[in-house]
Amino acid sequence: MPQNKKIIDGRAVASEIRLKLKDKIAQLSGRRPGLAFILIGNDEASKAYVRMKKKGCEEVGITSHVLHLSEKISERELLAEIDHLNSSENIDGILVQQPLPKQIHTDKIVEAIDPKKDVDGFHPLNIGKLLLGHTDGLVPCTPLGIIKLLRAYKIQTDGKEVVIVGRSNIVGKPLAALLCQKQPWANSTVTLAHSHTENLAEVTKRADILITALGSPGSITAGMVKDGAVVIDVGINRTMNTLIGDVAFAEVIEKASLITPVPGGVGPMTIAMLLSNTLKAFS
Ligand code: NAP
């Protein structure tokens, strides 16, 4: 548990969620939920992510299967593997670890996954449901994990200015869609900033809650943060042998009221939400 009361402990919140999932799964009669990972090639970061996610599955009682395919696999062959998993009765969730090799069109692969098994929540049908505020879809794990983290720490979002830096389809855009839902756990005034945003520091300084997902190590400095803001750092940047976030942590913690560390902030929540989405897909 982090000693500093300003630090949001994503590991502790994720661990509580995993315990609840484990209890629910232990009470199931019959088969356990099943999650299939498709891992392509030998990218070390991708292998590490799949290992961590698989370990999460083992902890809560989800049966996981890793399909490790060659870097040279053709799009047709990959689509055939997905077809097979779509129709497999023991598989409730399918996760294709990105990035994919150049010969594969990522959009085509995401769209080939049965939306009911799309535990990453990236399928256009699930993204559409999210935008419309329907609750029966699967929501992308990192944005969902951030909402859960804000709720666990009782951080008020209703009526607050939230600035998200980064407009990716997996973090920024779905997170913006969640935070502007007409719900007590959202209802925020959302600004989505990106590399074309003018006067970024002026924009980020408006934020009661600042969420950074740029992939640029330490680039959000104290001068860009309002006094007392809540700062959620999604960035995971590998430098030498360590992981650091997008936020210059040592200086920003002095201004923030609450802040997530990297590692140990958003990352563990992403994995917990993958497990939660798998149980939802099973149910
Ligand atoms: P991405 O697809 O590379 O998108 C980055 C976004 O940041 C883009 O919208 C880009 O703007 C914007 N951006 C880049 N540099 C900027 C700058 N200097 N000023 C303003 N905006 C800037 O990234 P992603 O996949 O969302 O990932 C972002 C970071 O989060 C990465 O470090 C990634 O590893 C991490 N991540 C962490 C988790 C987790 O579980 N903690 C999950 C997913 C991702 P343009 O659109 O204009 O190019």
pLDDT digits 0-9 by tens, 140-196: 999 999 999 999 999 999 999 999 999 999 999 999 999 999 999 999 999 999 999
Is the CB of 272 within 6 Å of ligand 1?
Answer: no
Q: Which two tokens stand for residue 192?
A: 């989505």
d(CA 265, CA 261): 5
Catalytic-residue membership of 53: yes
31-114 and 141-267, same CATH topology = yes
Q: Which of 9, 92, 114, 120 is catalytic?
A: 120
3-state secondary structure of 267: helix
Q: Span 31-114: which CATH code? A: 3.40.50.10860
Per-residue pLDDT tens over the stretch 92-103 = 999 999 999 999
Per-residue pLDDT tens over the stretch 55-70 = 999 999 999 999 999 9
Q: Is the pTM of this model over 0.95?
A: yes
Residue 241 has a pLDDT of 84
75 exposed, middle or buried (CB, 10 Å; 0-12, 13-18, 19+)? middle
Q: At what angle do helices 10-26 and 266-282 cross, to 10 degrees?
A: 20
Q: Which of 9, 92, 97, 129 is catalytic?
A: 97
**CA nearest to 162, candidates 136, 190, 134, 181:** 190
β-pairing verdict for 209-212 and 189-193: unpaired
Residue 239 has a pLDDT of 86
Question: Rounded to the nearest whole angstrom, what is the distance from the C-alpha of residue 233 to the centroid of ligand 1?
Answer: 11
3-state secondary structure of 100: coil
Catalytic-residue membership of 120: yes
**H or E stretch covering 250:** helix 249-252
Q: Give domain 141-267's CATH architecture.
A: 3-Layer(aba) Sandwich (3.40)
Alpha carbon 117 to its chain centroid, in Å, reads 17
Per-residue pLDDT tens over the stretch 35-92 = 999 999 999 999 999 999 999 999 999 999 999 999 999 999 999 999 999 999 999 9
Domain positions in the chain are: 31-114, 141-267
Number of H helices, E strands in the chain: 10, 10
